[in-house]
Amino acid sequence: MTELKLDEPLKSKYPKTQLGITWYMFRRHKLAVFSLGMLLFLFLAAIFAEQLMPYDPIKLDPVYAKGRPQPPTNEHWFGTDDLGRDLFSRALSGARVSLAVGFISVGISTLIGLVIGSMAGFVGGWVDNILMRLADIFLSLPTFYLIITVNSMFKPSIFNVMIVIGIFGWMGVSRLLRGEFLHLKNTEFITAARAIGVPNMRMILKHLIPNSIAPVIVNATMGIPSAILLESALSFLGLGIQPPAASWGSMLQDAKQWLHFAWWMWVIPGVLISLTVIAFNFVGDGLRDALDPLERGRG
Amino acid sequence: MIRYLIRRLLQMIPLLFVISLISFMIAAFAPGDPVYQYVNPTKKPPTQEELDIIRHRYGLDRPVHVRYLFWLRDIFKGDWGFSTRSKTAVTTEVLSRLPNTILLSGVSLLFAIVVAIPLGVLSAVKRYSILDYITTFIAFVGISVPSFWFALLIVAVFANKLGWFPSVGMSSAGANLTGMAKFFDVANHLVLPVAALSFSELAYWIRYQRASLLENLNQDFVRTARAKGLKENTVIWRHAFRNSLVTTVTLIGLSLPWLVNGSYITESIFGWPGMGRLGITSIMSRDYPVVMAVTMLSALLVISGNLLSDIMYAIVDPRTRFD
């Protein structure tokens, strides 16, 4: 019989830090873990794109191409386009663009959403009213069309794409955060914090936001694939990245005229976009389960 | 109900006003001198005086807010100005495209509803069956595949490889068809764009219909209905399904904006002569009068979609109160 020693902490496999618990819960979602692995792989590929590229992604090789796209070979894994550019190298630099757009534009919209949402939720009253009406207006704007408009007016560039996608995407975050704030404001620990005179800014940054960040993180993770899809749609229309640089969307645009026989030109970028989008969605799913305290009891 | 409707309709006015203001400002502060929209680029470049004359004629020498007010005044008179690209009235231009877009979006919407709801119900009722797995898989593909890529895919397969359907335009070029022949010709041209436009929406709706029906099937009232000895079909369709529609119907209303957005890309790919393509071409050629008109129409559609979804919500769920 083993004796339970009270002065020794219980040895449990259950982790103790917040991060540890989240990871412990996240691991149970097998598809999410697999997707996370895939995304890490993609990240590494994007970071080391320059080292991995077998060819210069914008270097033309008309002699090799002979005026039409060339199918995949041992030298050109993803084939080449009609100008003889290596599509594997272009896909790598496209990965960089897609991930950058996903993260930066969602970063922008999350930041805007955090500021607006916490202002609306914390101050309340007419400030809340105005900010939420603003969110309503933005929600009823024909966003995609406005993004195209704004983007075509300023010189199309990938930075404009990121900024514009960010500016038109904050409404969800701000509503989520506002809701959380309204709920938290009535809890005891906030009343206690107020009673001991915690200043407003500190209250928002140290007490309210950390306690309401979980749905925001999930929302941001799910927002990344939408931003990636938007970027590829814009580039597909010729309003995103400008030639000769490549993104997955612009690769699809290049492929449009070769649909009938160069399958590798459009199948590969499309599959890459889809896989990335699915992976982010699964990771978001896993995070939602992992961060939800109601789920945690069930081990 | 009527009072609620009136209030909601009145609320649309300031909303549309703000939207028009935002889009007008975006257009006004875009880099580049708008006067060049009115200059024929193939001719000899105009002198400064000529530019000033044109600027004055189109009121471009006035400050932005004055221009906006003039634009607004003209709108109330039903005058949307002239397209700088085609020199025809914006209203003519837009009205000639609108029916085509309504046809494409309407058929896509109907198709998505007719396919998604039964599939969602089936995969909820026959949960974890092969059919459920297949629909779940299709739904996941639909959600994650970019719609324009799906469009390219079906063009490559069904138009280029198999040659079953045409991939461009709304009717066969040169053929002067009438009556039923014309109907079938247009229907044939509709197949691929409709498939492309409805695919991703369809996927979402299947998921939501499945989830909401499953949720309802676990409710007490369904157990009661079963305990009363009602037939399983009655339980599912009369009791659980009716309640599950609440979620789906809201979703359908809220996806009207997507139909509007999606039409930009779909119409561009399939060369469909609709509003979306008009919008894209006018953006590309900086044809601001048309851009404004298309933006306002899209906004109107988006807002009406929200309203419609609230109204339908009230119809399916009689507990809804209007305050």
Q: What is the pLDDT of residue A299?
A: 38
Q: What is the pLDDT of residue A112?
A: 95
Q: What is the pLDDT of residue B32?
A: 65
With an 8 Å Cβ cutoff, are B144 and A150 in contact?
no
User: Which residues is B89 bridged to in the sheet?
Assistant: B82
CA pair distance A140, A133, nearest whole angstrom: 11
Angle between helices A30-47 and A18-26 (to 10 degrees): 110
Tokens of A298: 């069930």
Q: What is the dihedral of CA B138, B141, B143, B148, to 10 degrees?
A: -120
Among A39, A134, A149, A224, pick the best mutation site for testing chain B contact (most B Cβ within 10 A). Answer: A149
Contacts of A146 in chain B (CB under 8 A): 23, 26, 295
Q: What is the pLDDT of residue A185?
A: 85
CA pair distance B301, B292, nearest whole angstrom: 14
Tokens of A89: 């190298």
Q: What is the pLDDT of residue A114?
A: 94
Say which of A154, A237, A278 has its CB closest to residue B140: A278
Tell me which residue has tokens 């590969």. Answer: A268
CA pair distance B94, A23, nearest whole angstrom: 54
Mean pLDDT on A231-251: 85
User: Which residues is A70 bridged to in the sheet?
Assistant: A80
Tally of CB atoms within 10 A around A96 = 19
pTM of the model: 0.81
From the CA of A131, how many Å to the nearest CA of chain B?
14
CA pair distance A161, A148, nearest whole angstrom: 9
With an 8 Å Cβ cutoff, are B15 and A137 in contact?
yes
Cα–Cα distance list, B13 to B65, B74, B258 (Å): 19, 16, 22
pLDDT at A170 over 80: yes
Q: What is the pLDDT of residue B86?
A: 77
Q: What is the dihedral of CA B117, B120, B126, B129, to 10 degrees?
A: 130
From the CA of A8, how many Å to the nearest CA of chain B?
46
From the CA of B141, how many Å to the nearest CA of chain A?
8
pLDDT tier, A37 (very low <50, low <70, confident <90, very high otherwise)? very high
> Is residue A142 within 8 Å of residue B261, measured between CB atoms?
yes
Nearest to B209 by CA among B249, B158, B258: B249
With an 8 Å Cβ cutoff, are B153 and A270 in contact?
yes
CA pair distance A44, B48, nearest whole angstrom: 55
CA pair distance B135, B109, nearest whole angstrom: 19
- Write out chain B's pLDDT in tens, 323 residues: 788 888 888 888 888 888 888 888 877 777 666 676 676 666 667 777 777 777 777 777 778 888 888 888 888 888 888 887 777 888 888 888 888 888 888 899 899 989 989 998 988 888 888 888 888 888 888 888 888 888 888 888 888 778 788 877 777 766 666 777 777 888 888 889 998 888 878 888 888 888 888 888 888 888 888 898 888 888 888 888 888 887 787 777 777 766 776 778 888 888 888 888 888 888 877 788 888 888 888 888 878 877 887 777 777 777 766 65
The residue type at B173:
A
Name B176's Cβ contacts closer than 8 Å, sequence gap at least 6: none
Cis peptide bond N-terminal to B257, omega within 30: no
Q: What is the pLDDT of residue A298?
A: 43
Q: What is the pLDDT of residue A21?
A: 80
Size of interface A-B (CB pairs under 8 A): 118
Name B193's Cβ contacts closer than 8 Å, sequence gap at least 6: B104, B108, B151, B266, B267, B270, B272
**Chain B interface includes A55 (CB < 8 A):** no
Nearest to B207 by CA among B257, B301, B144, B260: B144
> Is residue B173 within 8 Å of residue B189, measured between CB atoms?
no
Tokens of A58: 């914008």
> Is residue A79 within 8 Å of residue A69, measured between CB atoms?
yes
Say which of B18, B26, B257 has its CB closest to residue A150: B26
Nearest CA in chain B to A254: B152
Tokens of B190: 């509709």
Q: What is the pLDDT of residue B182?
A: 78
Contacts of B160 in chain A (CB under 8 A): 259-260
Nearest CA in chain B to A156: B284
From the CA of B183, how many Å to the nearest CA of chain A?
28
Q: Over the stretch A184-194, which tens digit does the pLDDT of each residue have?
A: 888 899 899 98
Least confident of A238-242, A279-283, B102-106: A238-242
Say which of B26, B156, B284 has its CB closest to residue A259: B156
From the CA of B24, how many Å to the nearest CA of chain A?
11
